């Protein structure tokens, strides 16, 4: 499991390693934004295909 703040920290660390991270967000009926998919390019062992937020967090925990 992950929350948005943890995923944002992991994304920040991945960009520090030189990765390019593309985040797609969606809006639910209540007007809240959530991360739908994450693409990570340039980080060995990860990407470049879209992953769910949970999948991206799990992979980034292993790599950064």
**33 vs 44: CA distance, rounded Å:** 29
Q: Which residue did the predictor score with more confidence, 1 or 40?
A: 40
Half-sphere exposure of 3 (CA within 13 A, CB side): 1
pLDDT of residue 62: 95
Per-residue pLDDT band at 1 (split at 50, 70, 90): low
Could you tell me the residue ranges of all domains in the chain? 4-63
21-37 pLDDT, tens digit each: 999 999 888 888 889 99
Mean pLDDT rounded to a whole number for the chain: 93
Average pLDDT over residues 6-14: 96
pLDDT of residue 31: 87
């Amino acid at each position: 499991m992950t929350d948005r703040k943890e995923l944002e920290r992991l994304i920040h660390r991945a960009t520090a390693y030189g990765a390019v991270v593309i985040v797609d967000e969606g809006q639910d009926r209540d007007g809240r934004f959530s991360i739908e998919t994450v693409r990570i390019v340039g980080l060995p062992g990860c990407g470049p295909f879209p992953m769910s937020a949970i999948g991206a967090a799990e992979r980034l925990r292993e790599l950064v």
